[in-house]
Amino acid sequence: MGQTLLQKVWDRHAVRTLPTGQTQLFIGLHLIHEVTSPQAFDMIRMRGDRVAFPDRTFATVDHIVPTLNQRRPFLDVLAEEMMCALEKNCREFGIPLYDIDNPGQGIVHVIGPELGLTQPGMTIACGDSHTSTHGAFGAIAFGIGTSQVRDVLASQCLAMEPLKVRRITVNGSLRPGVFAKDVILDIIRRLGVKGGTGYAYEYGGDAFDRMTMEERMTVCNMSIEGAARVGYVNPDETTFKYVEGRAFAPKGADFAKARSWWKSLASDSNATYDDVVLMDAGAIEPTVTWGINPGQSVGITEKLPSPGDVGASDKASVAEALEFMSFRGGMPIAGTKIDVAFIGSCTNGRISDLREAARLAKGRRVASNVKALVVPGSQSVRKLAEQEGLDKIFMEAGFEWRGAGCSMCLAMNPDQLQGRQICASSSNRNFKGRQGSPTGRTLLMSPAMVAAAAIAGEVVDVRKMLDREEVHA
Amino acid sequence: MTDSRFVDKISGRAVPLRGNDIDTDRIIPARFLKSVSFEGLETHAFEDDRKQLEERGQVHPFSNPSYAGARILVVNGNFGCGSSREHAPQALQRWGIRAVVGESFSEIFFGNSVALGMPCLTVAAADAEALLAAAEGDPQAEVRVSVSAQTVAVNGKTYQASVPAGAREAFTAGTWDATGLLLDDFEQVKKVAASLPYVSGF
Ligand code: SF4
């Protein structure tokens, strides 16, 4: 009987079965950042432990960095304190750090792939739930808490419960104006925000076969929003081409060997799955969230649900979300006025995302009452965008062009919503208070849809702004 | 080492918190993560939710003096979803919570709570409702949780609960702080590392 990639990678990394029945799993790549690591280093010091594999550990700074003035010391003393703690910990334990002065710096889930640290067949852990992003390469990658960061620092291992695998096959072509972001929003909407509990999601089908690595990363990134701790795509030629030549990728003859090992790890054609879901890419519309979790979304031409339209278990959450958002059931999402537009984050802060948004922004103007930010996911993305002249297109259209970081995805830096502002955002979470104002409101959508909303001043169907030929192609 | 390593029977008053999909951003908003330690997090647990209810003349259970000193938190479904921040269970534990009972938990929240020695017990939806109602009806009611027996009892009634075998063993054997366990056989860890082509060379 065939095996899934999850089973193969899991077995290769299993150290032993613990007395608890859990698997002790070796972690091939440990990524750390300033927010969830300082307490872990303190625990290590208290125990008198060392970092077991400092050369399999990499650090960057992303969550707290300001995007306007990045000079040290940071103006925010608490941010500066966290930055100093990370520098000190990395120095003391011999861990490479991509700090703010390093051209490799950026959001942890953007730079891992960029630097070639992320490779197929690895187990990857990071104190951040969107670690699932790295699954786009056929790695088993998951988010962990700070005590587990301590475990990985001390032992390079985690105690893990086994995962089931749900195969999500998406066949057919995405229609123009529909992006990877819409695919994952649609998956979460259908399977629910708790649907993935206990599962790894394996994404496949010809829609995924045709996707670029950046698109696959967008989908895998939000697996956790559907409660799947792990999401992955089997490695293929697209994967190998992306990895080849990157700083930490295997070189020369090693690459050829690596390639055949990676290939051997893909799920067998006769693998068995714990669950199978089939979807049609052509049926997916540009999708927008209207509520307070990423599963509360509608297609751009649809209307919001009322508590009366949903099952008993969802009534209370629909009512709560409508109330928080000051929306009414039955109203269309299109036409909702926005105050802020945010393009960035580990979901949609890569070069292809900025290109899509710039295509919309070119020759147009941001609505006068909208504050629009573009925050590249990494310094490399920023540099590449500037080489392509995207920064000028954005600035001429009235977008602000910022330094790399997480920024308004979670608003731990000065980029925050004020009061009841509504933000069209390319990020991944629309939880209450997520973007810095406890009463602020977030509408999640693709970067192209955010750019379109910034220009129109309200949520619009991006397809109406794309060239006619493209839409009718 | 004291017996606090062994986590099994926990009793005390319960604080009821209704709602599905309560995410960790709500348990502890991101602005309170701007610190190099977990100290003082308890004062900010549910801060934004508490304020918003207060403005409308309502009282959040964590602001309600009747529930001060509660040791057991009762919730609905998918509690602790979203961000992996351990700050969330840290804030609850530092507030005084020793066990959480609910219909379901996000995996990362569950795992983080195990690492802190704070068990999360899953009960049927109707039983979560009954336990919420019991705590709302009488904030003084004593709730008794048993990890090994997988039960939650209040007002003379015992409800069936469940804790996955691995976590149950970790609590009752006192091995929920996994670091020691993971370092027990470091030779084997090194062997597995050496067997991986991306570690030892392709
Ligand atoms: S961009 Fe947002 S989701 Fe991604 S790592 Fe940063 S804060 Fe987390």
The whole-angstrom separation of Cα A262 and Cα A120 is 6
A282 domain-assigned: no
The structure tokens 């259908």 sit at A190
Q: Which of A409, A429, A442 to mutate to test the pocket of ligand 1 (most atoms within 8 A of CB)?
A: A409
Longest CA–CA span in chain B (Å) reads: 65
Based on the fold, state whether residues A227 and A348 are members of the same structural domain. Answer: no
Instruction: Tokens for A228, please give them.
Output: 């799947």
A114 domain-assigned: yes
Based on the fold, state whether residues A198 and A313 are members of the same structural domain. Answer: no
Q: Which residues pair with B99 in a beta bridge?
A: B72
Cβ–Cβ < 8 Å for A35, B33:
yes
Instruction: Tokens for A244, please give them.
Output: 């080849």
Specify the range with the lowest mean pLDDT, choosing from A140-154, A307-321, A457-471, B107-121.
Answer: A457-471
* Buried residues in B82-103 as b, exposed as e (16+ CB within 10 A): bbbbbbbbbbbbbbbbbbbbbb
**In total, how many domains does chain A have?**
2
The structure tokens 């690591």 sit at A37
Based on the fold, state whether residues A291 and A269 are members of the same structural domain. Answer: no
For the CA atoms of A445, A310, B46, A196, what is the dihedral angle to 10 degrees?
-70
Instruction: Tokens for A72, please give them.
Output: 């040290």
Is the pLDDT reported for residue A154 higher than 90? yes
Is the pLDDT reported for residue A157 higher than 70? yes
A320 domain-assigned: yes
pLDDT recorded at residue B1: 36
CATH number of the CATH domain containing A312: 3.30.499.10
Domains belonging to chain B, first-starting first, are 3-173 (3.20.19.10)
Residue B129, judged by CB atoms within 10 A of its CB (0-12, 13-18, 19+), counts as middle
Confidence band of A5 (pLDDT split at 50, 70, 90): very high
pLDDT recorded at residue A468: 54
Domain finish residue from A255, A275, A295: A275
The whole-angstrom separation of Cα A372 and Cα A14 is 47
Helices (H), A223-290: 237-243, 252-265
Is the pLDDT reported for residue A469 higher than 60? no
Domain finish residue from A254, A275, A296: A275
Residue A455 makes CB contacts below 8 A (sequence gap 6+) with A360, A361, A364, A365, A366, A367, A397, A465
Based on the fold, state whether residues A261 and A293 are members of the same structural domain. Answer: no
Q: Which residues pair with A199 in a beta bridge?
A: A164
What is the C-alpha end-to-end distance of chain B, expressed in Å?
A: 45
Average pLDDT over residues A139-157: 97
Based on the fold, state whether residues A302 and A191 are members of the same structural domain. Answer: no
Q: Which of A218, A406, A428, A435 to mutate to test the pocket of ligand 1 (most atoms within 8 A of CB)?
A: A406
pLDDT recorded at residue B2: 43
Pocket of ligand 1, beta carbon within 6 A: A 62-63, 107, 109, 128, 130, 345-346, 406, 409-410, 427-428
A22 domain-assigned: yes
For residue A108, the ligand 1 atom closest to its alpha carbon is 5
Based on the fold, state whether residues A162 and A271 are members of the same structural domain. Answer: yes
A234 domain-assigned: yes
* Per-residue pLDDT in tens (0 to 9) along chain B, 202 residues: 345 789 999 999 999 999 999 999 999 999 999 999 999 999 999 999 999 999 999 999 999 999 999 999 999 999 999 999 999 999 999 999 999 999 999 999 999 999 999 999 999 999 999 999 999 999 999 999 999 999 999 999 999 999 999 999 999 999 999 999 999 999 999 999 999 999 999 9
* Residue ID of nearest Cα to ligand 1 atom 6: A406
Based on the fold, state whether residues A212 and A303 are members of the same structural domain. Answer: no
* Domain ranges, residue A203: 5-275
Confidence band of A470 (pLDDT split at 50, 70, 90): low
Quote the minimal CA–CA distance from B33 to chain A in Å: 7
Confidence band of A473 (pLDDT split at 50, 70, 90): very low
Is the pLDDT reported for residue A117 higher than 80? yes
Residue A86 makes CB contacts below 8 A (sequence gap 6+) with A32, A33, A34, A37, A38, A59, A61, A97, A99
Is the pLDDT reported for residue A225 higher than 60? yes
A19/B193 CB distance under 8 A: no
Based on the fold, state whether residues A430 and A391 are members of the same structural domain. Answer: yes
Question: Measuring CA to CA, which residue among A320, A294, A290, A293 is closest to residue A303?
Answer: A290
A432/B25 CB distance under 8 A: yes
Based on the fold, state whether residues A301 and A216 are members of the same structural domain. Answer: no
Is the pLDDT reported for residue A458 higher than 70? yes
A280 domain-assigned: no
**Mutation target vs A (from B17, B195, B202; most A CBs, 10 A cutoff):** B202
Task: Judge whether B1 is closer than 8 Å to chain A, CB to CB.
Answer: no
pTM: 0.96
pLDDT recorded at residue A213: 98
Of A78, A145, A261, which has the smallest distance from its Cβ to B35's Cβ? A78
A281 domain-assigned: no
Cβ–Cβ < 8 Å for A432, A449:
no
CA A120 to chain centre: 18
Report CA Rg, chain A: 22
Based on the fold, state whether residues A53 and A103 are members of the same structural domain. Answer: yes
Confidence band of A182 (pLDDT split at 50, 70, 90): very high
pLDDT recorded at residue A1: 81
Cβ–Cβ < 8 Å for B188, A16:
yes
A262 domain-assigned: yes
Residue A94 makes CB contacts below 8 A (sequence gap 6+) with A51, A54
pLDDT recorded at residue A279: 98
Average pLDDT over residues A184-207: 97
Based on the fold, state whether residues A367 and A412 are members of the same structural domain. Answer: yes
pLDDT recorded at residue B3: 58
* Residue ID of nearest Cα to ligand 1 atom 4: A346
For the CA atoms of A105, A106, A108, A114, what is the dihedral angle to 10 degrees?
-80
Confidence band of A466 (pLDDT split at 50, 70, 90): confident
Percent with pLDDT over 90 in chain A: 97
Question: Measuring CA to CA, which residue among B126, B135, B130, B160 is closest to residue B145?
Answer: B160
Based on the fold, state whether residues A348 and A219 are members of the same structural domain. Answer: no
Is the pLDDT reported for residue A261 higher than 60? yes
The whole-angstrom separation of Cα A223 and Cα A227 is 7
Determine the 3-state secondary structure of A23 from DSSP.
strand
Task: Judge whether B40 is closer than 8 Å to chain A, CB to CB.
Answer: no
Domain finish residue from A243, A275, A307: A275
